[in-house]
Amino acid sequence: MIRKDFAMAKQKAKLKSEQNDNPGGPGRYFIRLNFNERVQHMIFLICFIVLAITGFMLKLPEDVVAKFGDAKDVVFYYRGLLHRTAGTIMILVSIYHVFYLLFKTAGRRWLVDMLPRFKDLSDLFGTMLYYLRFRVRPPEYDRFYYKQKLEYGALIAGATLMSVTGLLLWTEERWPKFILDIAAIVHGMEAILACLAIMVWHMYEVHLRPRKFPIDNLWITGVIDEEEMMEEYPLHYQKIMADPELQKAYLQPEHGKRDVSGRISARGSE
Amino acid sequence: MRFFSLTFANSCIFAGLLVLLYSGITSAQDSPITSGQDLVTDAENCLLCHRYPNMGRYDKSGNKRIYYLNEKVFAESVHGKLRCKSCHVGLDEIPHSNVKKVDCSSNCHIKEPSTDKEFSHKNMVDKYVASVHGLGSDTSPKKKFPEDLPTCKYCHNNPMYVPADGIWGKSEALSNETLARCIGCHPTSHWAERFYSHFTHRMRRRRSQGEIVKLCTSCHEDQEKMARHGLESIGTYKDTYHWIQVQYGVENAPDCLSCHVPLGYSAHDIRPRTDSISPINMANRVKTCSNQGGMQSCHPGATTEFASGRVHAYGMKAQMMADQNAESFLAGQDISLVVERAEKDLSDKEVFHYKVLRLIKLFYKLLIALVIGSMLLHQGLDYMASRRQLKSR
């Protein structure tokens, strides 16, 4: 099965490169993540990985810890330092994200599009029917659909909980031990939940999904092509096409031939 | 008849010893140890026999007992200046039939310089007997199951003097330079060396934190043994951040002694936490956690709220109290003492805390199972649908 996915990915890459070589072809790209959002994602991603590794190092079995040999106390020192540094950066990015949502045009659009609506519930129901073959096509999604909204909600809840409990544990002497015990349990269990969710929900979405395999370039380039846009987010596509203002925001200005490096540096609307 | 059997047994042991001695002599020809070096004080000439590495026998229970003494190693140990008979009282007959167990509280005929009296560990032993680990004295109740209690030798061997650790690291050069200054006034260099070694020996901990935890848990993790004394296993210590630091060999890591025997306390005088002088008594917790004046930097800003919480994670006792189902623990063993102690040790507040923590853990376990399970199902369906869609093109 995986081999077939590889073959499909290769075919898709070839098709895209052919489209890009042809200036008259349908090489129009839609901005899903602007430069600012991509940088936020990148910082958050690095912090998350560092935090997960340095955090779960506390749960290593005794014999694995013993493998660090004489350097284990040095490893422990840098583990703590990295964990706190990455945690601080993650909190700062999260605070900036709130600022971005409230005070930037693109951020405000993001916030409005991300708010849960009744349509999300009906989309979930419709998608299930589609998965179970009771429907031929999935429901038409807007800019963000239920899966992404759930993930974003979980991210906000998770980051808040982890930040608060992390800060409590960091400033332990100021709090009653019972509060710290709760914080330690929540911090540990939430970490397991977050890592598993990222692995099952997000990694599948951007790596294993047959259309995306082996990796979705969106986190680097920030754009998707017109075909994908029409297929995955048809409602949003229609809205953009009908509104010149939205076209300014979401349509990559210099469409046509554009290499990957060009797309990476594309800033999009902020 | 009894006399005969004893004599016969002694003769057998003596014959055995002779055989071992002979084999020892043959192997000792290659041994680096040479007699007559006077490394140790051997006025009784015990080394005549005990210098041979094969000196030993199997006791009645089949354990191998080694009676060999490595002269060089012993000379470097903390007891290296003592005569054998300072500790091994009796032993006047050969083969030794009147063997008495070593009693660390006896006088060892070395004059203690500050009082000019014969030295003895008696004051330590007296303290120890009255402590939680001791059998009990006239003033404290005698304990049941004396075989469970650690003797002096359970924790103490005869440690070696080694060059001092210092800010220069493990440095023999440091010892050499310091000693050079001593020897100017104290010309007997051997005496100066031992005095210096004794002093530096006391300047640092003998065991690493990991070794301390290993020593204490060798008894305190034995659930059955602990239950006989109304205690629970301290395995829950290993759920704490304290233990993780010990595991990683952090220099400042807190082991058992850091809290139970902080600065100003003695490991031989550990008291139950209900005792007002115990460092883990609620009244003394802030002082213990802040460890002011101690080498370890613990929680200098500890408040009463912070310090009065539970340090080891909750264990069997809390579970018993929360569920009121003592009979389901340690089946087949009398745990009435544990139940009795649990009621005394754990306040209602602590039981409530345990219940809350347990509930949060359960909530998260269910949440993780539910969320990740649904996600797996969703993504599995999505995978199949995506492949179906791609195929249909």
Q: B92: exposed, middle or buried (C-beta count within 10 Å: 0-12, 13-18, 19+)? A: exposed
Number of Cβ atoms within 10 Å of the Cβ of A93: 18
Before B95, cis peptide (omega within 30)? yes
> What residues of chain A have any CB closer than 8 angstroms to a CB in chain B?
1, 8, 58, 62, 65, 68, 70, 72-73, 75-77, 128, 130-132, 138, 147, 172-178, 180-182, 184-186, 189-190, 192-193, 196-197, 200-201, 204-205, 208-211
Domain boundaries, chain A: 30-263
Distance CA B296, CA B251 (A): 9
Regarding the domain with residue range A30-263, which homologous superfamily does it belong to in the CATH classification?
Transmembrane di-heme cytochromes, Chain C (1.20.950.20)
A213 vs B212, higher pLDDT = B212
User: In this structure, which long-range contacts are made by residues B238-246, counting pairs with CB atoms below 8 Å and at least 24 apart in sequence?
Assistant: B239/B312, B239/B313, B240/B311, B240/B312, B240/B313, B241/A58, B241/A184, B242/B311, B243/B213, B244/A58, B245/A76, B246/B209, B246/B210, B246/B213
Quick one: what percent of chain A has pLDDT higher than 90? 64
Quick one: what percent of chain B has pLDDT higher than 90? 29
Q: Indicate the helix (H) or strand (E) that contains A225.
A: strand A223-225
Which range is most confident: A82-96, B39-53, B106-120, B250-264? A82-96
| Residue in B closest to A61 by C-alpha | B247
Residue A25 predicted with pLDDT over 50? no
CB contact under 8 A, B371 and A76: no
Distance CA A115, CA A148 (A): 11
Q: Are B158 and B79 in contact (CB under 8 A)?
A: yes
Q: How does DSSP assign B311-328, residue by residue?
A: -SPP-HHHHHHHHT-GGG
Local structure of residue A251 (DSSP, 8 states): B
Q: Using an 8 Å CB-CB cutoff, list chain B residues near A213.
A: none
The predicted structure's pLDDT at residue B3: 41
Q: Is B381 on the interface with A (CB under 8 A)?
A: yes
Domain boundaries, chain B: 1-103, 209-316
- pLDDT bracket for residue B374 (50, 70, 90): very high
Residues 6+ apart with CB under 8 A from B73: B160
- pLDDT bracket for residue B19 (50, 70, 90): very low
Best residue in A56, A124, A180, A185 for a mutation probing chain B (most B CBs within 10 Å): A185
The predicted structure's pLDDT at residue A181: 95
- pLDDT bracket for residue B267 (50, 70, 90): very high
Average pLDDT on B375-393 reads 88
Residue B21 predicted with pLDDT over 60? no
Distance CA B374, CA B371 (A): 5
CA-CA-CA-CA dihedral for B90, B91, B93, B94, to nearest 10 = 180
pTM of the complete model: 0.82
Beta strands in chain B (DSSP E): 56-58, 64-66, 107-112, 117-120, 165-166, 169-170
Give the mean pLDDT of chain A.
86
Residue B1 predicted with pLDDT over 60? no
Gyration radius of chain B over CA positions: 29
Q: Is B386 on the interface with A (CB under 8 A)?
A: yes
Q: ipTM of the predicted structure? A: 0.86
Residues found in chain B: 393
Assign A133 to helix, strand or coil.
coil
Residue B377 predicted with pLDDT over 90? yes
Coarse DSSP helix, strand, coil percentages of chain B, rounded to the nearest 5 percent: 50, 5, 45
Residue B32 predicted with pLDDT over 60? no
Quick one: what percent of chain A has pLDDT higher than 70? 84
Q: Taking the alpha carbons of A50, A54, A60, A63 in that order, is the dihedral positive or negative?
A: positive
Q: What is the 3-state secondary structure (H, E, C) of B330-374?
A: CCCCCCHHHHHHHHHHCCHHHHHHHHHHHHHHHHHHHHHHHHHHH
The predicted structure's pLDDT at residue A265: 57
Least confident of A111-125, A214-228, B152-166, B236-250: B152-166
Residue B163 predicted with pLDDT over 60? yes
At B29, list the tokens: 């020809």
- B97: distance to nearest CA of chain A, Å? 47
* C-alpha distance across the termini of chain B, in Å: 104
- B272: distance to nearest CA of chain A, Å? 21
A32 vs A50, higher pLDDT = A50
Distance CA B11, CA B3 (A): 12
- A72: distance to nearest CA of chain B, Å? 5
